[in-house]
Chain A
Amino acid sequence: MALKIVKSQCTVCGACEFECPNAAIKFKGEGYIIDAEKCTECEGQFDTPQCAAVCPVPNTCVPA
């Protein structure tokens, strides 16, 4: 139960990082990655995964 970021599409804008309620998204090396351990898919916190909702590029934050 986690999301991942499709690296080739990510614009590295950082929008997802600071929306994530679980601080699961971190800037590493060249781009953002989601820590699968921490990601809850926002279940119980929001209707939709916050990273996917805020990401400006469609289909970039997707189920892992």
Chain B
Amino acid sequence: MSATLIPISGLQVASRKDMGAALAKGGGCSAGSCGSSQGPADMDPETWAKVKDHPCYSEEAHHYFARMHVAVAPACNIQCNYCNRKYDCANESRPGVVSERLTPEQAARKVLAVAASVPQLSVLGIAGPGDAAYDWRRTRATFELVAKDLPDIKLCLSSNGLALPDHVDEIVAMNIDHVTITINAIDPEIGQHIYPWIFHDGKRRSGIEAATILRDRQLRSLEMLHERGVLVKVNSVLIPGLNDEHLIEVNKAVKARGAFLHNIMPLISDPAHGTHFGLTGQRGPTGAELKKVQDACAGGANLMRHCRQCRADAVGLLGEDRGQDFTLDKLPEEIGDATEARSAYRDWVAEERRDRAAATAEAEAAVAETAKPALFAVCTRGSGRINLHFGKATEFQIYEADARGIRFVGHRRADNYCLGGHGDTARMDEILRVLGDVPYLLCSKIGDGPRKRLAEAGIEAIDGLAQDYIETAIAAVLHSKQTARPGLSAERA
């Protein structure tokens, strides 16, 4: 299902062009491309150095770098109404769900194996399925083992924050320079409807008391980490009718305390998952609702729009999960390291980035004349290029182009249209639904059938710009539209 990452052999290619070709062929980020407000231009050099190879912290980096999570920390000190740790289904991907629980030793072996075959790997995260800061012994043991063998891999930790203040010193000492805290509410009146209980100081607590303790400890961890120079990302789950308006307050509060990035994610709520919200019929937000809240937070903490709500044991570039390729039983006996391959890959990325930045600048200058914002759905598997077949896309990168430039505004998921060579009508309906407001689709290839269906729905599929940088392609489309319809320029004049 998931695209294969570039194999080590691909890294021995002589030229940059060949490497690019190897990437396009071998796969890469099926999620791909996220234009970035978060590039080197809007960051101080010190921060940029910390995030430039981190796919979750930098939208730009997520074209090129892969992360992996290991599930070593199953114990949790709170209960969330959107989580149910009882069910683990191998067929689904959602946060909090894992198929394999590892000991720190097993986890370290797995990280080594992935690092040896996935040169894009730059980050190891521990995000549960419980709470990494609460289950600290296992988290720490894993990080220590990995840091010893792979000093170039960045360490990253996700937590609900309740236990975080107790570990700040160790986090700093261990060079963990990225922490994610999930904060869904700062008003305990609202928080109490999200968390049925917390376990703190030897006691289970509930209601306003629990929500207040949790909130205070979350904000304190954020302040403490920020003071010590650790980058903190805040995650919030958008629960319609419960915290949608409130997230704007959350955004302000976390920004004031130094949060580097705020990631507002949609609630995943399906009765089959057995979560409280799933069972009580609490629905998740629509893409438009999500965008509305994200847009309302503009000007607050920087928003992350490329989150994939990864599984706690995901492996690979964002948006793909190769976890199943690296289960314990598939790890080789002998695991070599591939430090050289990783550094060769990083050199390649540095050049590719310069090139793409230049292409983007040019493309943006070219669309500066465009008055009305236009949306584009892009099929990509990474490197900032249009390099994915429409039938293989499981999600679409959404770009917006207007006078202010070309930027990534989000991604929309839809199961891939092509099922073993056959198009599936129900899936096509779903794609048409999620792309309802998008007039253009860019992909490397598309069949006649789907092209026609898209056209009937008012979506123009364009596959003539395969392998171009996304920004360049968008500029080219807009340009051809303008010249094709001279009326447009006349209007503006």
Residues of A whose CB lies within 8 Å of any CB of B are 9, 11-19, 46-48, 50, 53-54, 56-57
Contacts and interface: CB of A to CB of B under 8 A. Distances in A.
Interface of B: 74-77, 79, 85-86, 101, 129-130, 135, 137, 199, 202-204
A11 B75 contact: no
Contacts of A17: 75
Contacts of A46: 202-203
Given A11-B86, A14-B130, A48 B75 contact: no
B204 A53 contact: yes
A15 B86 contact: no
A22 B376 CA distance: 59
A15 B74 contact: yes
Which DSSP category, helix, strand, loop or mixed, fits chain B's interface?
loop
Contacts of B76: 13, 15, 56
A48 B201 CA distance: 12
Nearest to B73: A14
A12 B130 CA distance: 11
A14 B74 contact: yes
Given A48-B204, A57-B86, A18 B199 contact: no
A48 B292 CA distance: 45
B202 A18 contact: no
Given A18-B137, A56-B79, A13 B203 contact: no
A15 B130 contact: yes
A5 B203 CA distance: 19
A46 B85 CA distance: 26
Which DSSP category, helix, strand, loop or mixed, fits chain A's interface?
loop
25 contacts: A9-B86, A12-B74, A13-B74, A13-B75, A13-B76, A13-B129, A13-B130, A14-B75, A14-B101, A14-B130, A14-B135, A15-B75, A15-B76, A16-B75, A18-B75, A18-B135, A18-B137, A46-B203, A47-B202, A47-B203, A48-B203, A48-B204, A54-B199, A56-B76, A56-B79
Contact of B202 (A14, A16, A50): A50
Contacts of B135: 14, 18
Contacts of B130: 13-15
A9 B84 CA distance: 12
* Residue from A11, A19, A46, A56 having most chain B Cβ neighbours under 10 A: A56
Given A13-B76, A15-B74, A56 B85 contact: yes
A17 B75 CA distance: 9
Query: Closest 10 CB pairs between A and B?
Result: A15-B75, A11-B86, A14-B74, A53-B204, A14-B75, A11-B85, A54-B199, A13-B74, A46-B202, A13-B85
Given A9-B86, A12-B101, 14 more contacts: A11-B85, A11-B86, A13-B85, A14-B130, A15-B130, A15-B199, A18-B137, A19-B199, A47-B202, A50-B202, A53-B199, A54-B77, A56-B79, A56-B86
Given A11-B85, A18-B75, A54 B129 contact: no
A47 B204 CA distance: 11
B137 A15 contact: no
Nearest to B79: A56
A53 B130 CA distance: 16
A47 B202 CA distance: 8
Contacts of A50: 202
A19 B135 CA distance: 10
Contacts of B203: 46-48, 53
Nearest to B205: A53
Nearest to A42: B202
Contacts of A57: 86
Nearest to B128: A13
A32 B407 CA distance: 50
Contacts of A14: 74-75, 101, 130, 135
